[in-house]
Every structure is written in structure tokens, then in C-alpha cells.
């Protein structure tokens, strides 16, 4: 039996974040309202979210043997994420610069990714494997497919060759890819599509509907989608019904927007449940 419930596979980055009132015009200097150094990457933020919610989770990613890599390891350990499968390489740790506009509630992300695939883990695989767009390529290289010992979850923001919802037990694509959850019936899986403040559509082939979003005082939406994915996987580990699971994930993602970075404001399971039970939407 695996020592954790979920293996999250994908990219880990160091994020340098700046909050401004508005984006600068050409050659204009603007004053930063706040800045932070954080870590990111869809699979990484999802792993931190799951750990905050009480799920035992490990991250599989490749980072550099540099100060950035040291920072990622330090944060992951502080957050309770198992780092035994995080590999160090001679390639530098991926760095991102992120500018967040307070007035427009949008962000601009500049990143130079170092795409180094991690090795297949020589362990008993857990009940769930969660992958981001890069992690999907990695686990394919490991020879892992749907129908094996682990159920598979995918967070994907854009299409790639061979992408099929039928390959995943939990398929959570961006609305840029599709707005249709009906494939769940034919693929016998769970399909969830977050529409941000418009809520999230879901289907497991039997139950289909839309779970409402919550209203919060938004500081930043950075990482909210990754948080949503982590929360969705957590609900499946717990065996939560799909309509309740999607509503719960909306709450977790919504509350995470109280923070500047992608994970510092992610709630605990108890806080999210209390918010959900209260019926508060703002």
C-alpha cells in the first residue's frame, strides 16, 4: 500500500509576484503595491492544496540544484507535501515573473520553463495520480494508463496532440478547451469545467449540473484554477458525491483568492466545510 493517497506530477516553479494598481503604459514606471516570492506550477499548487485539506500527497517534479530548488523544497516540506520523489537536476529551476493588476483583476505571467521529465517512481502507486499538462506527458512516458491500479486526474489549460477525456477518470479542462461535460456519460468518468465566477459545470454521467461560485474580496486569482483541481482530487479521495464535490472545490478555490500568491490563502478542510454549510456566498 502506498504511503500517500495522491501523487501529483508536473511542473514546480519559483514565482516572483508583483501587485500593481494597473498595468503600466509603454515606458511608464508604476509603483508596486505589494510583492512576494512564492512557488507555483499547476501540479505543485494542487499538491499544496490537497495537503492543506488533509490529504496525504507527494509531488513528482524536477527542480534545479540551486537556491530556487532549495526554496521549493523548503515550502513543500512546510506545507506537508512529501518531497521524496522531487528530483534535482543540473538544469536551473524554472522562474516566473508575475504582474497582477488590482483594478483589472488579471495577471501577466512571464516564464522560461525547464521541461525535464521525472523518472518513474519505484513505489506502490497511490489510489490517485494527478497531472498537469506536462505531467500528462510524463506519466504517459511511464506507461501509466487509465484502468490500472491508480485513477487518473488531469488539469489541462490548453489542448495538446492526443488529448482525450476518455483517458482520465477525472477530466477537468479549461473552458477554452470545451464547455461540454456530456462526454462523462460515454467515457464513464467525471468531467468538471470551472467557469470562474459563473460557477462550475459537472457531470459523472448520472448527475449533471452547475455548482455556484462564491463571492470574495479578491486580492488575486493566481493559482485559483490549480487550487480548484487539487480540491476536486481531494473530494474523490474522500468519495464525495460529484455535486457536493464541485461546490466544495468552488469554495476552496474562491477562498484562495484572498491571497496574493497561488496557495497562501488556501483554507483547511474544516474552514471550507464551515463556509459551505453556512450557505454564505459573499
Highest-confidence range of 15-29, 107-121, 222-236, 268-282, by mean pLDDT?
222-236
Instruction: Give the residue extent of every domain in the chain.
Output: 6-278
Q: Per the CATH hierarchy, to which homologous superfamily does domain 6-278 belong? A: Ribokinase (3.40.1190.20)
* Mean pLDDT score, 31-49: 93
- pLDDT score, position 282: 41
- pLDDT score, position 151: 97
- C-alpha span between 43 and 61 (Å, rounded): 9
Torsion sign over Cα 210, 274, 227, 15: positive
Whole-number Cα distances in Å, 129 to 10, 183, 236? 11, 21, 11
Whole-number Cα distances in Å, 64 to 111, 131, 142, 202, 263? 15, 20, 22, 38, 22
Is 31's pLDDT higher than 80?
A: yes
Is 100's pLDDT higher than 90?
A: no
- pLDDT score, position 190: 96
Q: What is the CA radius of gyration of the chain?
A: 18
Query: pLDDT > 90: what percent of the chain?
Result: 65
- Least Cα distance to 258 among 246, 275, 244 occurs for 275
Looking at every residue in the chain, the average pLDDT score rounds to: 91
Q: Name the residue with higher pLDDT: 197 or 151.
A: 151
Q: What angle do CA 247, 99, 68 make, to 5 degrees?
A: 90
112 burial level (CB within 10 Å; 0-12, 13-18, 19+): exposed
* Mean pLDDT score, 13-23: 91
- pLDDT score, position 280: 53
- pLDDT score, position 180: 84
Digit-coded pLDDT (tens) for 123-152: 889 999 999 999 999 999 999 999 999 999
- pLDDT score, position 1: 66
- pTM of the predicted protein model: 0.92
36 burial level (CB within 10 Å; 0-12, 13-18, 19+): middle
- C-alpha span between 38 and 204 (Å, rounded): 35
At residue 51, φ and ψ (nearest 5 deg) are: -65, -40
DSSP assignment letter at 134 = H
Q: What angle do CA 136, 5, 173 make, to 5 degrees?
A: 35
Q: Which residues pair with 128 in a beta bridge?
A: 6, 151
* Mean pLDDT score, 53-71: 97
Amino acid at each position: 500500500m502506498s504511503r500517500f493517497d495522491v501523487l501529483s506530477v508536473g511542473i514546480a516553479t519559483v514565482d516572483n509576484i508583483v501587485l500593481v494598481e494597473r498595468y503600466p503604459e509603454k515606458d511608464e514606471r508604476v509603483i508596486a503595491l505589494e510583492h512576494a516570492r512564492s512557488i507555483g506550477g499547476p501540479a505543485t499548487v494542487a499538491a499544496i492544496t490537497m495537503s492543506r485539506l488533509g490529504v496525504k500527497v507527494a509531488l513528482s517534479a524536477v527542480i534545479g540544484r540551486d537556491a530556487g530548488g532549495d526554496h521549493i523544497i523548503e515550502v513543500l516540506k512546510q506545507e506537508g507535501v512529501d518531497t521524496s520523489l522531487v528530483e534535482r537536476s543540473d538544469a536551473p529551476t524554472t522562474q516566473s515573473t508575475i504582474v497582477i493588476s488590482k483594478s483589472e483583476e488579471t495577471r501577466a505571467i512571464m516564464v522560461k520553463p525547464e521541461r525535464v521529465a521525472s523518472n518513474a517512481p519505484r513505489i506502490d502507486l497511490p489510489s490517485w495520480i494527478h497531472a498537469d499538462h506536462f505531467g500528462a506527458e510524463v506519466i504517459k512516458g511511464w506507461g501509466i494508463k487509465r484502468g490500472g491500479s491508480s485513477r487518473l486526474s488531469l488539469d489541462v489549460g490548453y489542448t495538446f496532440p492526443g488529448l482525450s477525456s476518455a483517458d482520465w477518470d477525472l477530466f477537468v479542462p479549461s473552458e477554452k478547451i470545451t464547455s461540454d461535460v456530456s462526454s462523462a456519460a460515454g467515457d464513464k468518468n467525471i468531467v468538471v469545467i470551472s467557469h470562474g465566477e459563473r460557477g462550475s459545470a459537472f457531470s459523472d454521467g448520472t448527475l449533471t449540473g452547475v455548482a455556484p461560485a462564491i463571492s470574495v474580496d479578491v486580492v488575486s486569482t493566481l493559482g485559483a484554477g490549480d487550487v480548484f483541481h487539487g480540491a476536486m482530487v481531494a473530494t474523490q479521495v474522500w468519495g464525495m458525491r460529484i455535486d457536493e464535490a464541485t461546490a466544495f472545490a468552488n469554495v476552496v478555490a474562491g477562498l484562495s483568492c484572498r491571497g496574493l500568491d497561488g496557495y497562501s490563502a488556501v483554507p483547511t478542510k474544516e474552514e471550507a466545510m464551515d463556509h459551505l454549510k453556512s450557505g454564505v456566498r459573499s
